[in-house]
A and B are shown apart, each in its own frame.
Chain A
Amino acid sequence: MEENSNNQKAYLYDNTKCIGCRACQVACKQWKNLPAEKTEFFGGPGYQNPAKLSSSTFTLIKYHEEVEEDKLKDWVFFKEQCRHCLEPACVSACLVKALEKTPEGPVIYHENLCMGCRYCMISCPFDIPKFQYHKVIPLIQKCNYCYDRLEEGLLPACSQTCPSGAIKFGTRGELIEEARERIFKNPDRYVNHIYGEHEVGGTSTLCISSVPLEKFGVRDVGTTPIPSYSKQFLTAVPVVIIGAATFCTALYWIAKRREAVAEAENKTEIKEE
């Protein structure tokens, strides 16, 4: 997987270059023709709006004021979206192959195959896929890395529009090298970690950051690919196909619980600021 993954398409999001302008967020809605949500004031810290990802918001800039001893140290941003995992839990969880990990990297969705079971939603360690509850025939919605644009040789809408160079789209292997180099050259600027290099077995979105991503409520998901749990399980009990989904579901509960805890912690943190 690692070998082949190096050739996959990916982006490197460097939040020390991000200006939190949200051109990416708007470009995403524009390309996908997604409706605006009704918001009031702000949905999260700083200028965050809407409050969270939804069936009409596939990417979201989150804001965080880094305060030390009552002094503002920095104002930092994080771009939330589907990570396009190398071994996506959502793909494993889907019984009808409505979700597919393409060899190019993007994890895409075939709506005609989807039966609306929402196993993908509950399996995703990052809580990404969303369901159109309000529709008669609801579909799963999430970022597909603008697969249609990639096929035409274009960059994803967000990467294309980013004015500051915070998003760099390219080949995963090369981007990891570049991320390493950026951290090496400016060790004071970054947390010494390339998010997405190893998380859940690696993802096709990479992020380097000046603060730990936990500050944005991104939880530590470990480095083991979620489907590998079910694979081990499958090898042991090969006939119990359904079990895979069930297992992923179980994982979800564990993950959700952790998230709830993290969220609660996060809330106190914001208050304390």
Chain B
Amino acid sequence: MASLAATYGRGAMTNHWGDIANSDCVIVIGSNPAENHPLSFKHVARAKDKGAKLIVIDPRFTRTASLADIYAPLRSGTDIAFINSIINYALANNLVNQDYVLTHTNASFLINPDFDITDGIFGELKDGKYSKATWGLQKNTDGTIKKDPTLADPACVYQQMKKYFARYDFETVSKITGTSVETLKKVADTICATHEPDKAAVIMYAMGTTQHTVGTQNIRTYAILQTLLGNIGVAGGGIDAMRGESNVQGSTDFGLLFHIIPGYLKCPAVEHVDLKTYLEKCTPKTADKQSANWWGNYPKYITSLLKAFWGDNATAENDYAFNYLPKTGGGYSHIAIFEAMEKGTIKGCLLLGQNPAVGGPNANIERKALGNLDWLVAVDLWETDTSVFWKRPGTNPADIKTEVFLLPAASSVEKEGSVSNSSRWAQWRYAAVTPPGEAKSDLWIISQLYKKLKESYNSGGKFPEPIVKLSWNFGGEEPDPNLVAKEVNGYFLADVDFPDKGKSFKKGDLVPGFAFLKDNGSTSCGCWIYCASYVNEGNMMARRKRSDPAKDTIGLNPEWAWCWPVNRRIIYNRASCDAQGNPYAPQKPVVKFNWETGKWAGDVPDGPWPPLKKQDGTNNPEGKYSFIMTAEGHACLFADLADGPFPEHYEPLESPVSNLMSKQQNNPAIKIWRKDEIGKSEQYPIVATTYRVSEHWQAGAMSRNLPWLAELMPNAFVEISNELAVEKGINNGDKVKISTIRGAIDIYALVTSRLKPFQLNGSTIHEVGIIWHFGYAGLVTGPSANELTPHVGDANTMIPEYKAFLCNIEKAIGV
């Protein structure tokens, strides 16, 4: 997500589930939709019925691969090399959408002439941090970016890319990924065929992409490729980040991640001493008048958020209570939290629907860390492995001092509210049944917690204001989700006129869209991107109207639920048109400019402005660039990330081979927590990855407790190739011992021809895949794959590297 935000300005699936059916080429990489997002496969099947090609790139031949036109095996952790070779192929053979690249991307921008990569490092690097001194763009005296529309200047992004990606030829890459040159070429040809303006490819990715020390850059390669091919903003195109749980998109939108607060606003840090400083740091600026620079509205969104949080207690005089927001002073990623727990600096932990004892990396460490807490509250549907960590096998409950509370929670069908899917659709649901026993909705639990906290703080305590002054108007004991949703949408807090828009509103009205939010305290909004979801006319998320396929040819279904932003189903959709507002794919237009009405027709356009050029081809000063969420208005082929402006291949932290691309073995910008826990290939020669299956759900609490699902997959298992099985004398169904430097587990072996050893630069490397859903609690139990995985994360997001590490495997003795 960090990657999509850096490239396009928003960190979300660019298209929507149903739009996959409009694709000419579906690329599945780092994901397994047939197994883990089976409903998405309905749309893949529709695309296939219309002739689309399905390409599956995966170390294992999965159930998704079983339906692929091309299956390309690759060693875990080598996505960048793989996709970079396709980018190189596209650039070298001019298989790019030229008009798109010129109009909608920063290809023509001139980079600092000193920019280069030497020995795998982009300029100056100190303690894992880049100075980024050479990453800047060249500027004119008026502050605008220097561009070369002929794309010939050696310093322009396009020429720099040609040079940079040329290092990734198929022969070299084949030695890294283990994919044959022939297959790489076949994949490249099929994908690059969609550079034709009226063709589109979509990339479907998930955790197989993100859970690496180069996770963010993995997605960057996809973004660069898709942008060059002109596949962003168009029907059947896009980069579809498939979320692993039904409401992950929603929770991300509302600030689940440690570095953001609702609406992807930045989490204030200690150096943001007041609102002014914070706004100066966070509000991007541009000197280009044709860039809408939508994030320039930042002050309106944070002020309205603060008004939603603290109501009348947030005033101009007190910086709208900005200093009531906690300020971060470092990392609060999953790994960092557990490391802190282990050190005893974190004393208490509230877990809602989380099961780190199974799902966390290096799970043994995390289970031990839980024992250092004074208290742990687990809110869940079942007794999870985490909530019973104190009586896990091999522990004496008497030795564990942590006080553990388990709060029974209502399931999704037992409460009303909205769930946001990967398509950014917020869909309202009603309670089908009442929760069993004492189970309560999350709203009830949080509300009670708040009320009790307020009671305590009322009688004193350090810095009570943020709690006692909070505005909390959600009804009685069981909060009304409608009131919460309305606060999220936002209210006018005073009568406000918008003469330029010809509109006026009364105090108490719901704000009809974020273009009406103010930075002067006259509006509230709990999450600006959700503004327009619950308006005076009603709850837009509760809509369930399907559109007539004869009229809505690309299946936008705009009256089905509601999607952010402002019900725009395909984001960056103005990039589906040339500079004059004509769709690249006239047979499946997303939007089209109507010069008579002066408006865009089709999907809600990504900005109302007219096209960049008039009908006669002259420049239109009213026009604005199509990627309005980046400061310069263009998709960033060259982008600012922690570990480099272009994606570079580095080996996973634990790898059986040395990096063929440079002397730099691992991503130089990662933080390594446990240096003595890095496995070496002499001892652990086999690559391991972890994965999910259709039959189980995440850390297993919801599926290992259901007899019908337990029946289908009652045990944890590892998939190994016939070749490795022969080498190790293992038969299908044998118990094997898998060990890493962090731990060992005994587990069933499934011997299959769906995995094949890789031939890498002359050596044979085996890879095995372990399902990770198991733990010691529940109806069916088994060893957790995460007892084996390392405590190391991505350089930008800190997401743990679950998907590539080293192990050894032997037939288990005495089982």
A179: shortest Cβ distance to chain B, in Å? Answer: 14
Please state if A26 and B712 are interface contacts (CB–CB under 8 Å). Answer: yes
Q: Is B388 an interface residue (CB 8 A)?
A: no
Please state if B41 and A75 are interface contacts (CB–CB under 8 Å). Answer: no
- Could you tell me the distance between the alpha carbons of A16 and B66 in the complex, rounded to whole angstroms? 8
Q: Is A36 an interface residue (CB 8 A)?
A: yes
Q: Is B680 an interface residue (CB 8 A)?
A: no
Closest to A75 in B: B66
Residues in B with CB closer than 8 Å to A39 are 711-712, 714
CB contact between B707 and one of A36, A70, A164, A165 (< 8 Å): that residue = A36
Please state if A165 and B63 are interface contacts (CB–CB under 8 Å). Answer: no
Please state if A19 and B67 are interface contacts (CB–CB under 8 Å). Answer: yes
CB contact between B66 and one of A23, A30, A74, A273 (< 8 Å): that residue = A74
- Could you tell me the distance between the alpha carbons of A19 and B34 in the complex, rounded to whole angstroms? 6
Known contacts A49-B711, A50-B711; is-contact A164 B66 (Cβ 8 Å): no
Residues in B with CB closer than 8 Å to A70 are 753
Per-residue B-contact encoding for A131-146, CB less than 8 Å = 1, 0 else: 0000000000000000
**Contacting residues of chain A (80-123) with chain B, CB-CB under 8 angstroms:** none
Most B Cβ at <10 Å: residue of A49, A163, A165: A163
Q: Is B61 an interface residue (CB 8 A)?
A: yes
Please state if A16 and B67 are interface contacts (CB–CB under 8 Å). Answer: yes
Please state if B715 and A163 are interface contacts (CB–CB under 8 Å). Answer: no
Q: Is B383 an interface residue (CB 8 A)?
A: no
Q: Is B155 an interface residue (CB 8 A)?
A: no
Q: Is B65 an interface residue (CB 8 A)?
A: yes
Q: Is A20 an interface residue (CB 8 A)?
A: yes
Question: In the complex, how many residue pairs between chain A and chain B have their CB atoms under 8 Å apart?
Answer: 93
Per-residue A-contact encoding for B698-712, CB less than 8 Å = 1, 0 else: 000000000111111
Please state if A49 and B753 are interface contacts (CB–CB under 8 Å). Answer: no
Q: How many residues of A contact B (CB 8 A)?
A: 35
CB contact between A65 and one of B67, B693, B752 (< 8 Å): that residue = B752
Please state if B711 and A36 are interface contacts (CB–CB under 8 Å). Answer: yes
- Could you tell me the distance between the alpha carbons of A22 and B61 in the complex, rounded to whole angstroms? 18
Q: Is A72 an interface residue (CB 8 A)?
A: yes
Residues in B with CB closer than 8 Å to A273 are 753
Per-residue B-contact encoding for A204-216, CB less than 8 Å = 1, 0 else: 0000000000000
Q: Is B695 an interface residue (CB 8 A)?
A: yes
Q: Is A269 an interface residue (CB 8 A)?
A: no
Please state if A49 and B39 are interface contacts (CB–CB under 8 Å). Answer: no
CB contact between B717 and one of A19, A21, A41, A165 (< 8 Å): that residue = A41
Q: Is B805 an interface residue (CB 8 A)?
A: no
Q: Is B467 an interface residue (CB 8 A)?
A: no
Residues in A with CB closer than 8 Å to B714 are 38-41, 49
A209: shortest Cβ distance to chain B, in Å? Answer: 13
Q: Is A35 an interface residue (CB 8 A)?
A: yes
Q: Is A47 an interface residue (CB 8 A)?
A: yes
Listed from nearest, the 8 A-B pairs whose CB atoms lie closest are A36-B707, A19-B34, A36-B711, A75-B66, A21-B694, A163-B38, A72-B753, A21-B38
Could you list which residues of chain A lie within 8 angstroms of chain B, going by C-beta atoms?
A: 16-17, 19-23, 25-26, 29-30, 35-42, 46-47, 49-50, 65, 67, 70, 72, 74-77, 163-165, 273
A-B contact pairs, 28 of them (CB 8 A): A17-B45, A17-B67, A19-B34, A19-B38, A19-B41, A20-B34, A22-B694, A22-B695, A23-B38, A26-B709, A38-B711, A39-B711, A39-B712, A40-B715, A47-B712, A49-B714, A50-B711, A70-B753, A72-B754, A75-B63, A75-B65, A75-B754, A76-B66, A163-B41, A164-B41, A164-B42, A165-B42, A165-B49
